[in-house]
Structure 1
Amino acid sequence: MDTISLKKKLSTYQSDKGYLKNVSDELHYEVLVAWENWTGPAQDFYKSLGFSYKQMAGLIGRAKKMKREGYFGSSEFKQIHVETIETNGSEAKPCQGIEIVWSDGKLIRFQDVDRLVEFLKKVA
């Protein structure tokens, strides 16, 4: 999420004296995700949101606690299983090959990964 929209959302919870009050759980989560994905200095993150580090430290700390306690659900990797489809007595896989749309709009199909890798090596 970009910091501009996050700043606007946070400003709705700002009191007349500049305190952040009654921030929703969803917004706590959004701030935490933005904080975890921020690559620059922490001070720049606070400035981009328009709040001091003291204001944001309380908010981020509360969000971390909520995450540890399971308020936000699991953002862990979830494995999915692809089932095969039977048609006329033979097994057909739902995905057959790899498709790449090339820069000039051409569609290139590969039957397996080895051929795709070989093609990419020749093109590079």
Structure 2
Amino acid sequence: MTGTSPKHDVFHAIADPTRRRLLHLLVDREMPVTVISSHFPMSRTAVSKHLRILSDAGLVKERKVGRETRYRLEPEPLLELKRWLAFYDRFWDNRLSVLKHLVEADDANEPETAVKPIKPQAMDPLSLD
């Protein structure tokens, strides 16, 4: 591992729902850990550990302002995730295209009559018919 590579990768960092919530919280503004902690039912130490993992992955930056540490979102590392997901988009696009084709083909073969709901019939539990 080189000195410039993160200790944690983006995929590991966002794997935890708490860390994803932290990122969401930091989207619009920089916040001190005391304010961030008030949004979570855990200790400030636990929140700080999550922030450290996000920081190690390059997803948040911290800066000292007096005695407090403030955190802000760094979205650039999320591009790695976006590129990875984009590769798999073609599979979804293909499946959605096939589904669209099947639905449209089915609609073209249906008569233009109103659809009547099917009424459930009472069954004799001893009958196998």
Query: If you compute each CA radius of gyration, which structure gives the higher value, 1 or 2?
Result: 2
Question: What TM-score, normalized to structure 2?
Answer: 0.30
Question: What TM-score, normalized to structure 1?
Answer: 0.30
Q: Which has the higher contact order (CA 8 A, sep 6+)?
A: 2
